[in-house]
Structure 1
Amino acid sequence: MKSTQLIPRISKAEVVLILITVIWGGTFLLVQHALTYSGPLLFVGLRFAAAASLVALFSRPVLRDLTLLELKAGVLIGTSIMLGYGLQTIGLQSIPSSQSAFITALYVPFVPLLQWLVLGRRPGLMPSVGIGLAFAGLMLLSGPNGASLNFSSGEIATLVSAIAIAGEIILIGAYAGKVDVRRVTVVQLATASVLSLLLVVPTGEPLPDFTWWLVISAVGLGAASAVIQLAINWAQQTVSPTRATVIYAGEPVWAGIVGRIAGERLPVVALLGAVLIVAGVIVSEIKGRKKVAVEENAGVNADQL
Structure 2
Amino acid sequence: MEKAKGNLLLLLTALIWGSAFVAQSVGMEYIGPFTFSTVRNLIAIVALIPVVWVFGCSREKRSQLPLWQRLKPDPVTLKAGVLCGVWLGIASILQQVGMVMTTAGKAGFITALYIILVPVLGRFLGRPVRKILLLCVPMALTGFYLLCVKGGFTVSFGDFLIFLCAIFFAGQILTIDHFLLKGANSVKLAWVQFAVTFLISAVLTGLYERPVPDALWDARWALLYTGLLSSGVAYTLQIVGQKYTDPTTATLLMSLESVFAALSGWLFLGETMTAREVIGCVLVFVAVLLAQIPIKKGL
Q: TM-score, normalised by structure 2?
A: 0.75
Deviation at 1:129, TM superposition (A): 4.4
**Aligned residue identity for 1:173:** D
* 1:22 matched residue in structure 2: 15
More displaced stretch, 43-52 vs 19-28: 19-28
Deviation at 1:173, TM superposition (A): 1.4
Deviation at 1:16, TM superposition (A): 3.4
Whether 1:255 and 2:261 are equivalent positions in the alignment is yes
User: Is the CA contact 2:12–2:234 (under 8 Å) kept in the aligned structure 1?
Assistant: no
**Aligned residue identity for 2:20:** T
* 2:211 matched residue in structure 1: 207
Deviation at 1:187, TM superposition (A): 0.7
Where do 1:149-228 residues align within 5 Å?
A: 161-177=165-181, 178-202=183-207, 204-210=208-214, 211-224=216-229, 225-228=231-234
- Tell me the distance in 1 between the aligned counterparts of 2:159 and 2:24: 22
- Tell me the distance in 2 between the aligned counterparts of 1:235 and 1:184: 13
Whether 1:60 and 2:65 are equivalent positions in the alignment is no
* 2:59 matched residue in structure 1: none
Task: Choose between structure 1 and 2: higher helix proportion.
Answer: 2
- Tell me the distance in 2 between the aligned counterparts of 1:254 and 1:92: 16
**Aligned residue identity for 1:251:** E
Deviation at 1:287, TM superposition (A): 3.7
Deviation at 1:50, TM superposition (A): 0.6
Q: Calculate the aligned-residue CA RMSD, in Å.
A: 3.5
With over 3 angstroms needed to count, the CA separation of the structure-2 counterparts of 1:26 and 1:64, relative to structure 1, is: closer
* 1:35 matched residue in structure 2: 28
Deviation at 1:107, TM superposition (A): 4.0
User: Is the CA contact 2:38–2:205 (under 8 Å) kept in the aligned structure 1?
Assistant: no
Whether 1:77 and 2:84 are equivalent positions in the alignment is yes
- Tell me the distance in 1 between the aligned counterparts of 2:237 and 2:152: 31
With over 3 angstroms needed to count, the CA separation of the structure-2 counterparts of 1:143 and 1:253, relative to structure 1, is: farther
Deviation at 1:141, TM superposition (A): 3.4
With over 3 angstroms needed to count, the CA separation of the structure-2 counterparts of 1:160 and 1:276, relative to structure 1, is: closer
- Identify unmatched segments of 5+ residues in structure 1: 1-9, 292-305
- Tell me the distance in 2 between the aligned counterparts of 1:91 and 1:280: 23
Deviation at 1:111, TM superposition (A): 2.4
- Tell me the distance in 2 between the aligned counterparts of 1:92 and 1:278: 20
The alignment partner of 1:176 has SS state of helix
- Tell me the distance in 2 between the aligned counterparts of 1:127 and 1:168: 20
Deviation at 1:188, TM superposition (A): 0.5
The alignment partner of 2:211 has SS state of coil
With over 3 angstroms needed to count, the CA separation of the structure-2 counterparts of 1:242 and 1:168, relative to structure 1, is: farther
Whether 1:13 and 2:6 are equivalent positions in the alignment is yes
Q: TM-score, normalised by structure 1?
A: 0.74
More displaced stretch, 74-83 vs 55-64: 55-64
**Aligned residue identity for 1:168:** Q
Whether 1:276 and 2:283 are equivalent positions in the alignment is yes
Aligned-residue identity in percent: 27
**Aligned residue identity for 1:184:** L
**Aligned residue identity for 1:285:** I
